[in-house]
Amino acid sequence: MSRSYVEMGVTSIPVMMSFALSSLLVSMGNYLMMYESGNPQSIMMMMSLISFSMVTMIWFRDSIRDSQVGLYPISFVSNSMMFIGFVIFSEVMVFFGVLWSFSWSMLIPSVWTGFEWPLVGMSFFDPFSLPLLGTSLLISSAVFVTWSHGSSSLKGTMISLLFSILLGSCFVCIQFIEYLSSSFTISSSSFGSCFFVATGLHGLHVIIGLFFLAFSLFRLSRFHNAILDGPIWYWHFVDYVWLLVFTMGYLFPSL
């Protein structure tokens, strides 16, 4: 009797992914609670991130192998898109909570900050310097990824994806430079906490989106096929979120 699903064999990848993700979240939480220079939790957090990335790449590799030998039915594509939709919806809820905290601390300042938001004397990033450059790069990356989806040739799709990945990587580098040059930290009042949580969480999602795009580019270059809709949806979600983060974290404080 034919089946519309695939019975997967015994694999340790989900367990490995659970341990890597749990370790990443725990080490990140400990790092934020005990923020200081030379915090050993930063090393643990980086090791957990590397482990998570390696397990993700192994999972992608196995997915490619299974699809090449015909283990995935046609319904796999629609199910994958539904999964991506649920993931994006859950991430929308996460960022809604983060941005709500940002809005709350801005509209209703705490007594601990003297009813001031942000704190008087804090120096902020000039929104029209590096932040604006990073925003332009991320929007340009979204244009290229849309172009790759509508391209009628394999070469055009691959070149557009490559440019999108390069521009997204430049955005991450600019964000890292901003962190190094910041005059305030995550412990600098509610503004610092909200700023670094929002931008850091967004930066993590940009890195995840880059993994998705790089995986799609690899499949196109190696096997001449890939499911582009899911990564493109995710990348546009990252772009829209950044516009909100840029407005609340850079534009409003400079007014």
- The DSSP letter of residue 74 is T
Alpha helices (H) in 151-228, listed in sequence order: 154-181, 189-223
Residue found under tokens 């990945």: 165
Q: How many domains does the chain contain in total?
A: 2
186, 196 Cβ separation under 8 angstroms:
yes
Alpha-carbon distance of 152 to 161, in angstroms, equals 14
Identify the top-confidence range among 3-12, 67-76, 108-117, 195-204: 195-204
Domain that holds residue 49: 10-71
Can you tell me the mean pLDDT for 246-254? 86
The number of C-alpha atoms within 13 Å of 103 and in the hemisphere containing its C-beta is: 9
117 Cβ contact list (under 8 Å, min separation 6) = 105, 106, 109, 190, 191
Give the rounded percent of residues in the chain with a pLDDT score beyond 70. Answer: 80
Sequence-distant (≥ 6) Cβ neighbours of residue 31 within 8 angstroms: 39, 41, 42, 44, 45
**Tally of CA atoms within 13 A in the half-sphere of 224 that contains its CB:** 3
45 and 136 housed in the same domain: no
Identify which has the larger pLDDT, 241 or 85: 241
* Boundary-marking domain end, from 48, 71, 94: 71
For residue 211, is it within any domain? yes
Same domain, 129 and 241: yes
Segment 144-170 shows an average pLDDT of 90
Confirm if 164 and 148 have CB atoms less than 8 A apart.
yes
144 pLDDT band, cuts 50/70/90, is very high
Residue 144, Cβ density class (10 Å: 0-12 exposed, 13-18 middle, ≥19 buried): buried
Q: Is residue 5 part of a domain?
A: no
Do 48 and 24 form a contact (C-beta atoms < 8 A)?
Answer: yes
221 inside domain: yes
Task: Say if residue 118 is in the same domain as residue 59.
Answer: no
32 and 124 fall within a common domain: no
> 28-42, 73-87, 211-225: lowest mean pLDDT where?
28-42
Shared domain check, 197 and 236: yes
Of the candidates 71, 95, 120, which is a domain's last residue?
71
What number is the average pLDDT over the span 128-156? 90
200: domain CATH number is: 1.20.120.80
204 shares a domain with 250: yes
Residues 253 and 255: their CA atoms lie apart, in Å, by: 6
| pLDDT, tens digit, 9 for 90 and up, residues 103-135 | 888 777 766 666 666 666 677 788 899 999 999
Rounded CA Rg of the chain: 20
43 and 62 co-located in one domain = yes
Q: Are 45 and 27 in contact (CB under 8 A)?
A: yes
pLDDT tens digits along 177-202: 998 888 887 777 778 888 888 998 89
The set of residues, in sequence order, having a beta carbon less than 8 Å from that of 55 and lying 6+ positions away, is: 13, 16, 17, 20
Say what the pLDDT of residue 89 is.
Answer: 93
Shared-domain flag, residues 104 and 48: no
Give the per-residue pLDDT at 1.
44
Residues 41 and 202: their CA atoms lie apart, in Å, by: 21
Copy the structure tokens of residue 21. Answer: 């993700």
Report the predicted TM-score, pTM, of the whole model to 2 decimal places. 0.80
Last residue of a domain, one of 18, 37, 71: 71
* Interval 34-52: pLDDT, tens: 655 556 667 887 888 888 8
SS3 73: coil
Q: Which of 9, 239, 27 is nearest to 134 (CA)?
A: 239
- As a whole number, mean pLDDT of residues 136-163 equals 90
Looking at the domain assignment, is residue 132 inside a domain? Answer: yes
Q: Say yes or no: 62 and 167 in one domain.
A: no
**What is the number of residues in the chain?**
255
Q: Are residues 194 and 111 in the same domain?
A: yes
| Same domain, residue pair 17 and 135 | no
Task: Clarify whether residues 27 and 150 are in a common domain.
Answer: no
